[in-house]
Amino acid sequence: MRYISTRGGGTPQSFTQILLGGLAPDGGLYVPATMPALTTAEIERLRPLNYRELAFAVLSIFIDDIPAHDLKSIVDRAYTSSVFRSTAIAPLKTFTQGLNLLQLSNGPTLAFKDMAMQFLGHLFEYVLAKEGRSLNILGATSGDTGSSAEYAMRGKKGIHVFMLSPHERMSAFQRAQMFSLQDANIHNIAIRGVFDDCQDVVKVVSSDASFKAQYRIGAVNSINWARIAAQVVYYFKGYFAATSKAGEEVSFAVPSGNFGNIYAGYVARRMGLPIGRLMLATNENDVLDEFFRTGHYRVRKGAEIHATSSPSMDISKASNFERFVFEIVGRGGAVVAELWQRLEETGSFDLSASQYWVEVKSAGIISGRSTHAERLGTIRRIARDFNVIIDPHTADGVKIGTEAREVGETVICLETALPVKFAATIKEALGAEPVRPAGYENIESLPQRFEVMDPDVDAVKAFIAQHAR
């Protein structure tokens, strides 16, 4: 399997060649040179597999330049019942006939990003050791991604993590999760400012090519293809858990931000998995809902970005969306390049009047949005009817999943975080905070390790220079 850029430039690369870099040199995102397709018989052969076996089978399609025995061992180390707190790894819970929850949030940081990031940690360590290299991962986080990356990379050889977060702006639980890590290769930098200040520092440091090369700076952002590939696996897992025979269809409801999670579902559908519809859910930041309803993709700026009670979906633009548009325009790199050029210049593009709109409409994706009040209502309803407490992001997905579901349709809602991470909103909805899973009872009282800094590029560079390996 070779990988090409969504903007059509460069030469095809192997999986390990694109693993540690970010964007393609022409500014595009890497995608498989051809979308793999499985026959019904090939899909059904995967049905009896357990999670690790399934992950190996699916990932082998995308990763063909790591020896099979090594890839198997990486997968086996990533998906253990102790890390994911269940032998199923991603168990399916049935609310009622036709309405299910795929539980993806039992990893160390209690959010679905662990499903891909744990694999990435072992994969990075393996590839770096093989190439005799080291990597310093630099990132900015407002919560979920940063902690998931730190728990995946902690203690890994050849890797240091420098994670910037806004000082005193994350929840006490999120802070404790990140700052209580005592591993010598994890460096938390609390920036006096907001998330955008952190992001700006990361951008400036990463755009200094000589600093980047000297200190081997890398990223683990959501455009990394390995993360997408690892997410395809649980669509297969959920599908098999909810069906009993070949060809039966299932739909998925997906709380969406950067379009990574639902894009993995789109890839699974293109591979031949019988997915009826992909139901995309947004919160008040509805750039994606607007696109799928109207064809108009309009990036939000500054004051237009709402701080919501499903904060991990508070995005202004959806980075992985470019991969979807690449397919919609018939894999035309030049068309994508032109659309993103227009986006850069005007902040939007409109496909509704183009020949591509019919392709969007037949891609199997529908969308909906949820407000704060609707989110609370969904949390209350699911607690009342099924005695399950869901987190605010999952609630956004469950809202569209229940509303859009047709008679006889099987819907799997993806659980993207556990409610304990967003206890204040749960308290607002239900009058009481959710019970904490075992091992997380007192994390706020653990000793914390972090560095407080101004949003000062030189200070951050000096810190990296001092601690990088």
Tell me whether residue 5 or residue 258 sits nearer to ligand PLP (CB atom): 258
Output the smallest distance, CB 458 to ligand PLP, in A: 31
Q: Which residues contact 83 (CB under 8 A, 6 or more apart)?
A: 107, 108, 114, 118
Tell me whether residue 219 or residue 337 sits nearer to ligand PLP (CB atom): 219
Q: Is the dihedral of CA 86, 90, 91, 93 positive or negative?
A: positive
CB 89 within 8 A of CB 241: no
Helix axes 172-179, 144-153, angle to 10 degrees: 20
CB 79 within 8 A of CB 119: yes
- Residues engaged in binding ligand PLP (CB under 6 A): 111, 113, 144, 222, 255-261, 312-313, 393, 416-417
> Is 20 exposed, middle or buried (CB count within 10 Å of its CB: 0-12, 13-18, 19+)?
buried
Alpha-carbon span 227 to 264, nearest angstrom: 9
C-alpha distances out from residue 241 to 48, 75, 435, Å: 10, 20, 27
Tell me whether residue 185 or residue 261 sits nearer to ligand PLP (CB atom): 261
Tell me whether residue 190 or residue 417 sits nearer to ligand PLP (CB atom): 417
Output the smallest distance, CB 237 to ligand PLP, in A: 17
Q: Which residues contact 321 (CB under 8 A, 6 or more apart)?
A: 259, 263, 288, 291, 297
Apex 303 CA angle, 302 and 306, nearest 5: 100
Tell me whether residue 187 or residue 421 sits nearer to ligand PLP (CB atom): 421
- Number of Cα atoms under 13 Å in the Cβ half of residue 268: 34
Output the smallest distance, CB 210 to ligand PLP, in A: 32
For the sheet containing 135-140, what is the strand order?
Answer: 217-218, 135-140, 159-166, 186-191, 451-453
Tell me whether residue 153 or residue 390 sits nearer to ligand PLP (CB atom): 390
Output the smallest distance, CB 262 to ligand PLP, in A: 6
Alpha-carbon span 250 to 410, nearest angstrom: 5
User: What are 124's two structure tokens?
Assistant: 């990075």
Output the smallest distance, CB 147 to ligand PLP, in A: 10
At 175, which helix (H) or strand (E)? helix 172-179
Output the smallest distance, CB 111 to ligand PLP, in A: 5
Output the smallest distance, CB 22 to ligand PLP, in A: 16
Output the smallest distance, CB 176 to ligand PLP, in A: 17
What is the residue type of 359? E
Output the smallest distance, CB 260 to ligand PLP, in A: 3
Tell me whether residue 309 or residue 410 sits nearer to ligand PLP (CB atom): 309
The structure tokens 């639980």 sit at 173
Nearest to 28 by CA among 254, 376, 335, 301: 335
R_g over Cα of the chain: 21
Pairing state of beta strands 250-255 and 275-282? parallel
Nearest to 423 by CA among 449, 444, 447, 398: 444
Tell me whether residue 158 or residue 265 sits nearer to ligand PLP (CB atom): 265
Strands (DSSP E) found in 131-179: 135-140, 159-166
User: What are 25's two structure tokens?
Assistant: 């040199």
Tell me whether residue 218 or residue 419 sits nearer to ligand PLP (CB atom): 419
Active-site amino acid positions: 113
